[in-house]
Amino acid sequence: MSGPRQELPVGVQTFAQIINNGLLYVDKTAYIAEMVSSYGTKAWFLARPRRFGKSLIVSTLESLFTGPRELFKSLAIEKRLGEEIFAPRPVISLDMSDAVTDLGVDEFRRSLARLTSSSAIWREDERSLASSASSPAAAFIFPPDATLSAAEILGDLIQTLSKRSGQRVAVLIDEYDKPILDFIKKPDEAEMIRETMRNYYARLKSNDKYISFIFISGISKFSRMSVFSAMNNLDDISIDEKYSAICGFTHNEFTEKFAAHLEETAIILGSSREDLLEKLKDYYDGFSFDGKTRVYNPFSALLFFKKRVFDNFWFISGTPQIIAHYLKDKRLTVEEFRGMLVPRYFISNPGEIDSSGPASFLYQSGYLSVRLDELTNKYTLDYPNREVYESMSRLLVDNYFDAAPIAEEERDKLRDALKSGEASALIEVFNEFLAEIPYDFYSKANRKTVKIDGIKINFDEWLYHSNILSFLIGAGVTARAEKHTSLGQSDLVAIHAGKIWVIELKMVRNDNDETVAKNALKQIRDKDYAGPYDNPILLGIAINESKRTIGAWEVGYKNRP
């Protein structure tokens, strides 16, 4: 049996609050001890997707330098707290997501100045405070000066704190890139924000002698920001294998820390612990930042145990409509990013998120994860888990229909058609969906090619296949593509409500629709695509290129002529 069930820290990102309230905490302090005590490195950068635990790491560092030692009782770092390198010190702690970005550039600059003025945490009696069980140090308010820029306030604050305390200062910056990302759709204003932040972060370099430790977190790495160009000693641990699990939960951490929750939830849902764990792994595990170590999404995992229902918690918590518009604007399909080969340098330097290609945008946003094939030593991108893959598919379909209620109605019709086993009903729903894909999507697709398993094929052919697969996945249907490299395309297998469909799609180019549909069904039989399944429905589909619809179809059954 597992130990006592701890309450979950849902929505809590403050380390002291988690510990003081006895909430469940997955110990990440060994990583923090490694950073703080690393000889020759005092400036660190970590990129992780939104809602992945970056703020909790910043909060833990803040407590380490300013809070009572009792907070770290029984944690990995506790035995090292007596070392001088871990001594309390003044802290400047900035959360850039608190800056005002919806009222223009000038108001952002003023809010950044106000934010900086109240960012210091320090008291005269800080050392005695940090060794007691009393409250953490209170915020030190820097006297405001309307004539100073935020960058000037930051520089003065660093020097003032250091000189008053006789110690060097720790600087913690969370969501450093949030201001730029908020202006990503406004290039001119984004460049002004970028210039403001360049000047701001440059003060860290110019005041280096007053600083003992720097930790910066964000979603992406903007190389044009002076925080990277000026600070040549900044250690980027984003893809460092040593720190690959600093955020998120490894499988061992998950099964150990959530043991009581797993047992209780399995009983409530009428499932075995093993089956529940396997489903959780499929839904929420799979994020990888070094290509090897995989971690569960902490946000989704916590919400699952709170609500005890499988849902796409992380995906719907942000701004997925931006992703939907991005897919549509770039004429992208969900499937073309599965197993995409990328060079090694892409993982460490994917480029600027606001100007690089789609793979970089989706990778840095967290919607694609990196995989390393140790046999070939090649890196690929793919969706980390079912939550993200299904959500991306659903979002793309919503975007085509332009109205969520209509899209949901079509998904209901799709599920009903699959459940009925009637091929005519399924074809009707497929055609309604295909009719919603914008015409210019097809016309631009005709000028592209895509490489599948090393074979180049026309993108329009791939377009039909991948969008129908997205329609199935986005409707919550168990569906997958069985790739066969001889044709460079895939069969579709869809499983829903006890019915199994094995589907082959072919484009009509120089033949009639009926002949192509019969050949598609014949190929399913000849190549035994239905071999692994019991009593599947076989469906050959002919896509009429000029009409952009299914022109003909042939249905059959396994072991029947």
DSSP notation for 53-98: SHHHHHHHHHHHHHS-GGGGTTSTTGGGTTSGGG----EEEEEGGG
| pLDDT confidence band for 129 (50 / 70 / 90) | very low
- Based on the domain organization, do 150 and 221 belong to the same domain? yes
Q: What is the pLDDT averaged over residues 219-241?
A: 72
Q: Is residue 83 part of a domain?
A: yes
Q: Which amino acid is at 468?
A: I
Determine the Cα–Cα distance for residues 335 and 393; give it in Å rounded to an integer: 9
Polymer length in residues for the chain: 561
Question: Could you tell me if 348 and 446 lie in one domain?
Answer: no
Same domain, 473 and 349: no
Residue ending a domain, choose from 334, 366, 386? 386
Residues 213 and 72 in one domain: yes
pLDDT at res. 133: 37
Claim to verify: residue 374 and residue 434 sit in the same structural domain: no
Confidence of residue 227 (pLDDT cuts 50, 70, 90): low
- The token pair that represents 25 in the structure block: 């905490």
Task: Specify if 368 maps to a domain.
Answer: yes
Cβ count near 68 (within 10 Å): 21
Neighbours of 223 (CB within 10 A): 11
Residue 2: inside a domain: no
Reported confidence tier of residue 545, pLDDT bands at 50, 70, 90: confident
- Looking at the fold, whether 148 and 208 belong to one and the same domain comes out as yes
How many domains in the chain? Answer: 3
Task: Give 370 or 128, the one with higher predicted confidence.
Answer: 370
Give the pLDDT band of residue 127 (cuts 50, 70, 90).
very low
pLDDT of res. 223: 54
Q: What is the dihedral of CA 494, 497, 500, 502, to 10 degrees?
A: -30
pLDDT of residue 263: 96
Mean pLDDT of 486-492: 54
- Check whether residue 155 and residue 112 sit in a common domain: yes
Judge whether residue 134 has pLDDT over 80: no
Please indicate, yes or no, if residue 124 is contained in any of the structural domains: yes
What is the per-residue pLDDT for 398?
83
Q: Does any domain span residue 546?
A: yes
Q: Does 370 lie in the same domain as 455?
A: no
The angle at the Cα of 318, spanning 313 to 322, to the nearest 5 degrees, equals: 125
In this predicted structure, which of 263-272, 409-418, 523-532 has the lowest mean pLDDT? Answer: 523-532
The residues, ordered by sequence, that sit 6+ positions from 495 with a Cβ below 8 Å of its Cβ are: 477, 478, 479, 501
Question: What is the CATH classification number for the domain harbouring 528?
Answer: 3.40.1350
Whether residue 203 is contained in a domain is answered as: yes
Look at the alpha carbons of 83, 85, 89, 91 in this order and tell me if their dihedral is positive or negative.
negative
Tell me the residue type at 51: R
Across 138-153, average pLDDT: 75
Per-residue pLDDT tens over the stretch 69-88 = 999 999 999 999 999 999 99
- Does the pLDDT at position 41 exceed 70? yes
pLDDT computed for residue 443 by the predictor: 55
pTM of this prediction exceeds 0.95 = no
The residue ranking higher by pLDDT, 158 or 233, is 158
Question: Residue 131: which pLDDT band, with cuts at 50, 70 and 90?
Answer: very low
- Per-residue pLDDT of 447-472, as tens digits, reads 455 554 444 555 566 778 888 998 99
- Average pLDDT, stretch 22-33? 97
Residue 137: the pLDDT is: 52
Interacting residues of 279 by C-beta distance below 8 A, sequence separation 6+: 271, 310
Q: Do 235 and 373 fall into the same domain?
A: no
Q: What contacts 24+ positions apart, CB below 8 Å, involve 134-137?
A: 134/68, 136/16, 136/63, 136/66, 136/67, 136/68, 137/66, 137/67, 137/91
Which helix (H) or strand (E) segment holds residue 171: the answer is strand 169-174
Q: Does residue 375 share a domain with residue 457?
A: no
Q: Are 89 and 212 in contact (CB under 8 A)?
A: yes
Whether 129 and 199 share a structural domain: yes
Confidence of residue 138 (pLDDT cuts 50, 70, 90): low
Residues 237 and 106 in one domain: yes
Q: Does residue 260 belong to any structural domain of this protein?
A: no
The domain boundary residue, chosen from 214, 243, 272: 243
The CATH number for 164's domain is: 3.40.50
Query: What integer best gives the mean pLDDT of the chain?
Result: 85
Enclosing domain of residue 430: 419-557
Last residue of a domain, one of 243, 266, 296: 243
Position 41 in a domain:
yes
